[in-house]
Amino acid sequence: MNTFFSVDGQTVCESCGNKILAEKKKTAAPPSQVYRLADPTVCGKCAFDTGGVVLPQIAGLHVCPKCQDLIRNRPFPIWVKGALAFLLFLAVFAQVRNAPYFLGYIRYSQAVKAFERGDLAQAAEYSDLATRALPGDLTLQMLRAFYRGIYLYSEDRTGDALREFESYQKLNPQDESIRFWIFVCRSSRAFETGDYAAMERWAQEAIRSEPDNPRAQGILASAYSCRFASGGGEEYREKALAAFRTYEAAETDPADRAEFEMRLRHRMTTREIIDRKEFLRRFPNGWTEGPSQ
C-alpha cells in the first residue's frame, strides 16, 4: 500500500495519479489533495513488509525496529565528528597557550593586593612569580623591581634594594618618582659605610625629589646627627634638630615619630652611632637621657 496515493479521495497507483494531475493542469482545475497512503505493516523507511503485523509510528511514520533504532540514535556524520574534534583541539590549545597569561594576571593581582595591605614580603614574592609566568612582560618586570626594592629596603638590605630600583629606572626611565628611592638607598648606603657627608648629600637630593616626604627629612636629620656625633660642630646638632622638626610635622605615625626622636637624641647625647636594629636590641624598652640603663 505504500506505493499507492490518494488523489482527491481516489486511491490510485503512482502512474495513474500522475496522469490525473497532468489532466488537471490542462483544464486549470483547482489543485488536488494528494498524499501517500501508508501501509501500517510496511516500514515507511526501508519498505520491510511484516506480512500483517502493524508497525509502531515515529512522527506519523510506520517503521520497523531496525529503522526505529536508526532514527532515534542516528550517528553523527564523520565530518561532524571531525569538526567537533578539531574545535575541541583548538579549545585545549588556546587554554594551554594562554595559561601563562592567566597565571601572570593572577599573580599580578595577588602582588598588588598584598602591597596595598602592607605585606611587602608577599608582594615581592607574587610579583616575582608573575614575572616568571610571563618573563617578557615589561609591566611585570617593573612591578617586580619596585616591589622587591621596597621589600628589601624595609629589611635594611639597602644595597640589594638600590639594585632593584636602578633596574626599575632602566626599564622605565620616564618615571621620575623612582629617583627618590634611589637617593634614599644611596644615603642609607653612605650611612653603612660611614660616609656621613655623602649621606647628607643624597638626603638633600631625596628632599629635592619629594620635598613633602617625611622619610627624606628623617634621613637628613639622621645625617646631621651622624656628622655631629662623629666630631662635627654644634651647627650639625642644630641642623639635626631643625630637620627633625620638619620630619615631625610631616610624619603621621606617632609611634614612628617617638622612636626616631629617641634614636636621634641617643646618638647626639652619647655621640655613638648605631643603626636602628642595634638600638632596638640594646634598648628594647626605650632609651631616656640620664644614667646608663
- Same domain for 69 and 84, yes or no, is no
pLDDT band at 233 (very low <50, low <70, confident <90, very high): very high
Q: How far is CA 118 from CA 115, 154, 258, 284, in A?
A: 5, 11, 21, 24
Q: Is residue 55 in a domain? A: yes
Q: What is the DSSP string of 31-58?
A: PP-EEEPPPTTB-TTT--B-SSPPPPEE
Q: Is the pLDDT of residue 200 over 90?
A: yes
Position 25 scores a pLDDT of 75
10-13 and 57-58 as β-strands: parallel, antiparallel, unpaired?
unpaired
Give the domain extent around 101.
Answer: 76-175
* Domain's final residue, options 128, 149, 175: 175
Chain segment 5-62, per-residue pLDDT in tens = 666 667 667 777 677 777 777 776 666 676 566 677 778 778 777 777 777 877 767 7
- Same domain for 66 and 84, yes or no, is no
Position 19 scores a pLDDT of 78
How many domains, the chain? 3
- Same domain for 42 and 128, yes or no, is no
C-alpha cell at 8: 482527491
Q: Is residue 187 in a domain? A: no
| CATH number of the domain that residue 158 is part of | 1.25.40
The separation between the first and the last C-alpha atoms of the chain, rounded to the nearest angstrom, is 120
Position 293 scores a pLDDT of 47
Strands annotated E in 92-225: none
d(CA 177, CA 183): 11
8 Å CB contact between 107 and 129: yes
Among 119-133, 189-203, 279-293, the range scoring the smallest mean pLDDT is: 279-293
* Domain's final residue, options 50, 75, 100: 75
* Domain's final residue, options 30, 48, 75: 75
Q: b/e string for 257-289 if b means 16 or more Cβ within 10 A?
A: bebbebbbbbbbeeeebeeeeebeeeeeeebee
Q: Is residue 182 in a domain? A: no
Q: What percent of the chain has pLDDT over 70?
A: 87
pLDDT band at 225 (very low <50, low <70, confident <90, very high): very high
